[in-house]
Structure formats: structure tokens, C-alpha cells
């Protein structure tokens, strides 16, 4: 088993090999220390081909494709701010005032790819792609043309999360039925209440 | 053939009619509720699209709603023939996520139960494959006779024959007794004779060879690119066994070989299972010889209130069907933010169409049988 270079080296290799690609490292705080690389949409396909065919990396096996839903988050924090306040005698005085600050982070959908190498027997290298938001811009480039193993799993992410993979050869629902409208794995999905009582005149009953 | 069709088609493409057949969802050869939309030209397959989801219950969402511990019994129901292997895959991912170590004795028992699971899965698969080929009953009953004994062991160990719910992150639920180990040793001592008998019954069978050799061929490069794993991949000659690659658990302590095929046809896939059964027996013998005394659970692990640090982990094992992986994202709370299963039998179905094109419809049945799918895992 050959050792895999650290994730920063892989980032440098990508930036040297695919001109114009913007790659950033997303570090992982858990003991597993599996850090990942965030790719831009325009170069994702080129980066994937580069990683697959690079003579040292040879990531020929895309094991896992995962959809992840990150909701809009709003964090509130109380901050002490120094302000100049008019004192009763007319002079200005500096006092500390507490303010609540809200920071909004827009949500997004994410596709995570776990890559391994069957030839070099190393891995995983983790790639991430993020959509601009969760509502109207949910397109990502498909990596099925590079790794066939993404075919069913990208369909599943489309089915359950609503991520539209551009360039996928056969993007249909896979686990839910045709005609189903919602995306059940999203965090804000509300299942329909099948037991809800409906009132009204019953059919076929003649009073 | 309708005369009209030929008249409408002056260049003669439609010489023969295309017939659309929906195989399943309730067809004995589909091993569960699974459907294939097949287009046939005569008896030849020209298109095949697998359709599944009939058993879909959104397993991943259920697990995301519960605590880390409460997902373990649900993993039993993924590949319901190999619950011990599923437990291990999930526990390995949680152990990576939270940095939990497993005591020595627990690692040995894990290997023993996982290899017993592999043995009964492969024996059962060979039986089912031959059933699909028309060898009605006998081989399957031979396999099930042996499987029954293994399930008896599981029952006396965990209380359940199939839904074992036995592993825990950080160890095991209960320890095994000395009597259980003795019974297991006795059984394992008899298993090589069973494999010999099973092989003698089938290996030189002319009908089996004629049906399986050269059927459902999967090229090596396509297998790698399509993420095929497990015995199906190794039948194409790719040496990739996660027990050897990752050395998860204590697999680096055992001596065993990885059988490889070179044609990638149904016969090679069938032989992979038979040969792997022999290697499994070797691992079992070594593990049963050297199992130490000691604790089976790390006492510091909080099973019920586990709160791993925010982060993510991917853990994978070589399950009997292929690479079974679990991907977990923690946000620091008591339940996983994202829980994802890498289902080997679903991903192995990606190339079902490629293997079946140009074959007879009867060979589709055995090609699917050689993939080894369990719909509880495909549909989740």
C-alpha cells in the first residue's frame, strides 16, 4: 500500500495540472482526519480526469457519492461595543453598550465524492461540490462521464436531495416513483400526513 | 411478424419485432422485489434497465433521526442475510468518527462472526445461483443445511438468528462463552468437508459449465470504473480485498489468500465464492486458535449518550457482497447529521445492462444471480 500524499500536496498538484482550477481544503475536526477538497463547478470534470489519470495518484475508483443538505443558519451573538454617547452635561462620553449581532449563512446542497485507487491501493481523497443555494440554483456538474460508479448514486442524490447533475446520461428518480414531487432527504422535508381525516359528503352514500 | 411493419420500414431495420418484457417485481429469479425492463429482439436482450425502490423506507433518514446507538438494529435490515457484517461496517465508521479503540478479544470475536457470515452468505448464494440455473432444490438445501448450523451459533450468541444486533462501537454487546467457542471450533472443523462435497457435486457438471462459462462477461477496466467490488470484481482479476488493503480490525494477523479469476464470467464469479469459502475457513481456524481472554467493551465509551466532535468519517469493510461503507457527518449532537450507506449490491448493479446486452433472456437470470443482490440493501 503506497502512502497517499497529504491533502495540501494533492491541492498543489491539481492547481499545477489543471490551470485555472480553484481548490480549497476543508479540514475535518474528527479523529478520522479525512480532509476534503472543495472544487469549482467549471473545472470539476477536468480535475476528476486529472486525478483519475495522474501517474502517482491513479484514483480510478470512485467509491461513494453522497448528497448533503446544509440549511440556512443564523447565529446570534452578543457583542460589547464602545460608543460615544451624549452625557447630560453636553460632553460626549465613551460607554460600553451590548448589541446582538446576527450572521446569516445561506444554505447549500453538497455532493461528496470518496475516491480510492485500486491500482495503488490508497485513499480516500474526498472531493466536494457545492450548489450556490438550496432553492433555485441546485445544479452541479456530473462526474458520471469520468467514473461510471457515480451513475446510480448521482441519480439517488437527485432523487432524494434535488441536486441536478448536468451531463448525467440518464438522470431520473431511482428510489422514489416517477411523479413524486418533493425531496425526502432534505432536512426541512415534511412527510405528508396520510392519516389526516377528510370531511365531506361520502361518495355512493344515499341519505 | 406483421407484414405492415415491414412495409413501413423500407430499409429493413425492423426485420424482427422488439418486445418489451417486464421481469419482476415478483419473479422468483429476482431474489426480492426487483424489476428489469428488458427489450428483446427474439430472445436477445437489446436493452435492460433495472428498476428498484420497492423496499425503500429511507433508512438513512431514519438513522439521522435517532441516536448513534439506535442505528445499529436498523443496519441489520440492510443486507438481511449478513447482519453481523453490516453492524461491523457501521461500528467501524463510528469508531473512526469518535476515535474509539476496540479491545483485543472483541476484535477476534468480530472476525469470527464476520467470517461465519461470509461463509453462510457464499454458500447460500451458490445454492440460489444453481437454483436459478435449474438445479432445483438439492444444492440450495445442501447450503441451507450448513447455514442453519451457523445461524444456530448466532442465535446462542446474540439471541437472534438473522437480526443479530450484536456489535457495538467500542466492542460487543455480550461476550461469548467457552462452550460457544468449542461448538464453533467443532463446526469449523467440519466446514472443509462440506465445501469439498459441495464442489464435487457441481464443479465438473457439464450443464453448469455450458451455462456459465462465457456468460455475463464483465471487462476488467469497466469493472474498476463502475466501482464494482467484492467477489464480482475479483472474478475479473483485480486484486482488491479491503481486508488486505485497509487491514481494518486485526486482519493483518491472519494468513489467507485472495482468490482471483481471469474471465469475469458467471463461472468465475461462482468459483470466487467457493474459493473464498475455503479461505474463510482458514481465517476462522486461526482466529479460534489464538483468541485471548479479556474485556469485550471499552468501559469509557458512552453508548447511549455518544456525542462525537463535529467532523466526518468514512469507514468501510469487505462485506460478503463487496465494499460496505458508512459515511457519517457529526455536528456535535447526539445523532448523526448525515448518515450514508455505500450499498455494494446497488452499485454492483450499475453494469447489469452491460453484462446482459446481446445475451439470451435465460442468461439474464443467472447473470443477475451471480451479482448477489439483497433488496433490503439496494433499496434501503
- Digit-coded pLDDT (tens) for A48-88: 999 888 888 888 899 999 999 888 887 777 777 777 777 77
Q: What is the DSSP letter of B297?
A: B
pLDDT in tens, chain B (380 residues): 444 444 555 555 556 688 888 887 877 777 778 888 888 888 888 889 999 888 899 999 999 998 999 999 999 999 888 999 999 999 999 999 988 889 999 999 999 999 999 999 999 888 888 888 877 878 888 888 889 999 999 999 998 889 999 999 988 999 889 999 999 999 999 999 988 888 887 777 888 888 888 888 999 999 999 999 999 999 999 999 999 888 888 998 999 999 998 888 898 998 899 899 999 999 999 999 999 988 888 888 888 888 888 889 999 999 999 999 999 999 888 999 999 999 999 999 999 999 888 888 888 888 888 888 888 899 88
Closest-CA residue of A relative to B344 is A63
Q: Which three cell numbers stand for residue B199?
A: 464442489
Mutation test of the interface with chain B: which of A111, A148, A161, choosing the one with the most B Cβ atoms within 10 A?
Answer: A148
B264 vs B309: CA distance, rounded Å? 44
Helix (H) or strand (E) holding A128: strand A122-130
Q: Is B13 left (phi over 0), alpha (psi -120 to 50) or beta?
A: alpha
Q: How close B135 gets to chain A, by Cα (Å)?
A: 33
Residues of A in contact with B60 (CB under 8 A): 185
Out of A64, A118, A160, the one facing B240 most closely (by C-beta) is A118
CB contact under 8 A, A63 and B60: no
B223 vs B221: CA distance, rounded Å? 5
Q: 457501521: which residue's cell? A: B90
Residue A13 φ then ψ, to 5°: -65, -40
Mutation test of the interface with chain A: which of B314, B322, B339, choosing the one with the most A Cβ atoms within 10 A?
Answer: B314
Q: How close B48 gets to chain A, by Cα (Å)?
A: 13
Q: What ranges make up the beta strands (E) of chain B? A: 18-23, 35-41, 44-51, 167-168, 171-172, 311-319, 322-330, 338-342
Q: Which three cell numbers stand for residue A201?
A: 359528503
Task: Set out the domains of chain A in order of their start, with CATH numbers.
Answer: 1-70+108-187 (3.30.460.80), 73-106 (no CATH)
Q: 411478424: which residue's cell? A: B1
Helix B266-290, helix B361-371: angle, nearest 10:
20
Which residue numbers of B have CB closer than 8 Å to A's CBs? Answer: 52-53, 56, 58, 60-61, 96-99, 222, 224-228, 238, 240, 245, 308-314, 316, 323, 325, 327, 329-330, 338, 340, 342, 346-347, 349-351, 379-380
Cβ(B308)–Cβ(B302) under 8 Å? Answer: no
Residues of B in contact with A34 (CB under 8 A): 312-314
Q: Which three cell numbers stand for residue A90?
A: 453636553
Q: Which three cell numbers stand for residue A61?
A: 475508483
Q: Which three cell numbers stand for residue B358?
A: 446481446
A96, pLDDT greater than 80: no
Cβ(B377)–Cβ(B346) under 8 Å? Answer: yes
pLDDT digits (tens, 9 = 90+) for A105-117: 888 899 999 999 9
B24 vs B51: CA distance, rounded Å? 9
Cα A177 to Cα A30, A165, B51, distances in angstroms = 37, 19, 10
Cα B269 to Cα B118, B209, B289, B345, distances in angstroms = 15, 12, 31, 14
pLDDT value of position B2 = 46
CB contact under 8 A, A175 and B350: no
pLDDT value of position A188 = 87
CB contact under 8 A, B325 and A63: yes
Task: Set out the domains of chain B in order of their start, with CATH numbers.
Answer: 3-51 (no CATH), 59-379 (1.10.645.10)
Q: Which three cell numbers stand for residue A10?
A: 494533492
Helix (H) or strand (E) holding A82: strand A73-86
Q: How many CA atoms lie within 13 A of B363 on its CB side?
A: 25
pLDDT value of position B108 = 93
Helix (H) or strand (E) holding B355: helix B352-356
* B78: nearest Cα among B376, B378, B379: B376
A94, pLDDT greater than 80: no
Prediction pTM value:
0.85
pLDDT value of position B156 = 92
- Chain-wide mean pLDDT for chain A? 84
Amino acid at each position: 500500500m503506497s502512502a497517499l500524499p497529504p491533502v495540501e500536496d494533492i491541492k498543489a498538484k491539481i492547481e499545477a495540472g489543471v490551470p485555472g482550477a480553484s481548490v480549497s481544503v476543508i479540514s475535518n475536526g474528527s479523529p478520522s482526519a479525512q480532509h476534503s477538497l472543495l472544487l469549482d463547478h467549471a473545472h470539476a470534470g477536468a480535475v476528476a480526469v486529472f486525478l483519475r489519470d495522474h501517474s502517482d495518484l491513479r484514483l480510478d475508483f470512485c467509491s461513494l457519492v453522497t448528497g448533503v443538505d446544509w440549511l440556512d443558519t443564523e447565529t446570534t451573538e452578543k457583542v460589547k461595543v464602545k460608543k460615544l454617547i451624549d452625557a447630560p452635561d453636553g460632553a460626549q462620553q465613551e460607554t460600553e453598550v451590548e448589541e446582538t449581532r446576527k450572521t446569516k449563512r445561506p444554505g447549500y446542497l453538497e455532493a461528496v465524492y470518496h475516491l480510492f485507487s485500486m491500482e495503488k491501493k490508497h485513499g480516500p481523497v474526498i472531493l466536494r461540490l457545492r450548489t450556490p443555494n438550496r432553492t433555485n440554483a441546485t445544479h452541479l456538474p456530473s462526474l458520471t462521464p469520468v467514473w461510471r460508479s457515480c451513475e446510480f448514486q448521482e441519480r439517488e442524490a437527485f432523487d432524494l436531495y434535488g441536486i441536478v447533475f448536468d451531463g448525467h446520461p440518464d438522470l431520473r428518480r431511482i428510489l422514489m416513483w416517477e411523479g413524486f414531487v418533493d425531496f425526502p432527504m432534505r432536512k426541512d422535508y415534511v412527510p405528508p400526513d396520510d392519516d389526516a381525516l377528510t370531511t365531506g359528503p361520502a361518495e355512493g352514500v344515499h341519505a | 411478424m406483421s407484414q405492415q411493419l415491414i412495409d413501413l420500414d423500407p430499409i429493413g431495420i425492423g426485420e424482427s419485432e422488439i418486445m418489451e418484457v417486464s421481469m419482476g417485481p415478483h419473479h422468483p429469479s429476482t431474489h426480492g422485489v426487483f424489476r428489469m425492463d428488458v427489450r428483446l429482439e427474439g430472445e436477445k436482450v437489446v436493452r435492460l434497465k433495472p428498476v428498484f425502490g420497492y423496499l425503500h423506507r429511507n433508512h438513512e433518514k431514519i438513522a439521522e433521526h435517532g441516536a448513534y446507538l439506535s442505528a445499529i438494529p436498523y443496519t441489520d435490515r440492510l443486507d438481511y442475510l449478513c447482519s453481523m457484517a453490516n453492524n461491523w461496517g457501521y461500528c467501524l465508521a463510528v469508531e473512526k468518527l469518535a476515535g474509539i479503540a476496540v479491545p483485543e478479544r472483541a476484535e477476534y470475536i468480530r472476525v469470527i462472526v464476520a467470517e461465519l457470515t461470509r461463509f453462510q452468505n457464499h454458500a447460500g448464494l451458490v445454492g440460489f445461483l444453481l437454483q436459478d440455473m435449474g438445479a432445483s432444490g438439492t444444492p440450495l438445501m445442501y447450503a441451507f443445511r450448513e447455514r442453519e448450523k451457523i445461524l444456530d451459533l448466532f442465535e446462542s450468541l446474540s439471541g437472534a438468528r438473522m437480526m443479530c444486533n450484536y456489535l457495538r462501537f467500542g466492542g460487543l454487546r455480550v461476550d461469548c462463552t467457552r462452550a460457544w467457542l468449542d461448538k464453533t471450533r467443532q463446526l469449523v472443523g467440519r466446514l472443509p468437508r462440506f465445501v469439498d462435497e459441495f464442489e464435487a457435486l457441481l464443479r465438473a457438471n457439464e450443464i453448469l459449465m455450458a451455462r456459465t462459462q462465457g456468460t455475463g462477461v464483465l471487462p476488467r477496466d469497466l469493472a474498476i470504473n463502475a466501482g464494482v467490488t467484492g467477489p464480482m470484481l475479483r472474478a475479473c482479476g483485480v486484486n482488491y480485498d479491503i481486508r488486505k488493503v485497509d487491514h481494518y480490525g486485526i486482519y493483518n494477523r491472519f494468513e489467507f489468500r485472495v482468490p482471483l479469476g481471469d474471465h469475469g464470467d458467471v463461472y468465475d464469479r461462482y468459483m470466487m465464492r467457493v474459493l473464498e469459502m475455503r479461505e474463510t475457513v482458514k481465517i476462522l481456524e486461526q482466529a479460534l486458535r489464538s483468541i485471548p481472554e479479556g474485556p469485550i467493551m471499552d468501559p469509557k465509551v458512552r453508548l447511549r449518550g455518544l456525542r462525537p466532535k463535529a467532523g466526518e468519517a468514512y469507514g468501510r469493510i469487505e462485506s460478503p457482497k463487496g465494499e460496505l461503507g458508512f459515511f457519517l457527518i457529526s455536528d456535535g449532537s447526539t445523532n448523526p447529521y448525515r448518515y450514508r450507506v455505500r450499498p455494494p449490491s446497488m452499485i454492483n448493479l450499475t453494469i447489469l445492462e452491460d453484462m446482459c446486452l446481446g445475451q439470451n433472456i435465460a442468461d439474464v437470470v443467472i447473470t443477475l444471480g451471480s451479482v448477489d443482490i439483497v433488496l433490503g440493501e439496494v433499496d434501503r
